[in-house]
Chain A
Amino acid sequence: GAGVSQSPSNKVTEKGKDVELRCDPISGHTALYWYRQSLGQGLEFLIYFQGNSAPDKSGLPSDRFSAERTGGSVSTLTIQRTQQEDSAVYLCASSPGGYSGNTIYFGEGSWLTVV
C-alpha cells in the first residue's frame, strides 16, 4: 500500500489477556521498527527488523513482549498477560533499510488500553 498500515487502530483488553498488533510496512522496505508512545514516557524504541531477523531487540520491556516478521513483510507484536502499564500507542515504522539517513515512515499506531 501507499503507507505503513497498522491494525487494530484501537484495542481495549482486559488485564491478563494476550494481544497481537499487526504492521504492514511499505512495499519493498526491508527495515521495520516498533516504537511505543506512552503518556509521560515519550517515544521508546522496542525492536528493529532487517528482513526477517531482529538484530536489535534491546527495547522490549519484558519477556511478555515478542515480535516476529515473516516473508520480509508483515510483522506482529505480541504482548502476553497484558498489564495496565502496557497501555500506550504502539507505532510501527518502515524504511528502505541499511543507511542511517534513510527516511523512516510511521503508521498511525495501534492504541492499546488495558483495563
Chain B
Amino acid sequence: AQSVTQLDSHVSVSEGTPVLLRCNYSSSYSPSLFWYVQHPNKGLQLLLKYTSAATLVKGINGFEAEFKKSETSFHLTKPSAHMSDAAEYFCVVSEGFQKLVFGTGTRLLVSP
C-alpha cells in the first residue's frame, strides 16, 4: 500500500529565505504525487503535481518539487519565503483510482 511521510511537523523560516518541506513516499507502482496547501479555515489548494513526466515540477506561487525515484522523495522548495506562504502543507500520493493518501502535514511558519 502507498504511504507518505512528511519528515517535519513544523518548519520555521524568515521572510526572504528558502523553504524546504520534506516528503518521502512508498508506492508499489509509479505514483502520482501532489503537494496541497491549506490556509487557516480554508480548503485545500493544489500547489503542484507529478505524473511521470518531467521530474522537476513547477507549481503556483513560486513553489517547485523534484521527484527522485532513487531516494523515494518529493521535497517541496521555494527560493524565497513570503509571509503569505504561512500555512499547512500536505504531501499526497495517488495510485489507481485516485484514492489519495495524505501525509500528516507540515506547518510552515514565516517570521518577518
A residues near B, CB below 8 A? 4, 31, 33, 35, 42-43, 45, 48, 50, 55-56, 91, 93, 95, 97, 99-109
Residue of A48, A101, A106 contacting most chain B CB atoms (<10 Å): A101
Closest 7 CB pairs of A and B: A101-B51, A108-B43, A43-B102, A106-B44, A101-B32, A100-B32, A106-B43
Main secondary structure of the interface of B (DSSP, over half): strand
- Known contacts: A56-B97, A100-B97. The answer to whether A42 contacts B49 by CB under 8 A is no
How far, in Å, is A29 (CB) from chain B's closest CB? 11
20 contacts between A and B (CB under 8 A): A31-B98, A33-B98, A42-B102, A43-B90, A43-B100, A45-B99, A50-B97, A56-B97, A91-B44, A95-B98, A100-B31, A100-B32, A100-B94, A100-B96, A100-B98, A102-B98, A103-B46, A103-B49, A107-B43, A109-B43
Chain A residues within 8 Å of B98, by CB: 31, 33, 48, 95, 97, 99-100, 102, 104
Main secondary structure of the interface of A (DSSP, over half): strand
- Known contacts: A43-B90, A91-B44. The answer to whether A56 contacts B99 by CB under 8 A is yes
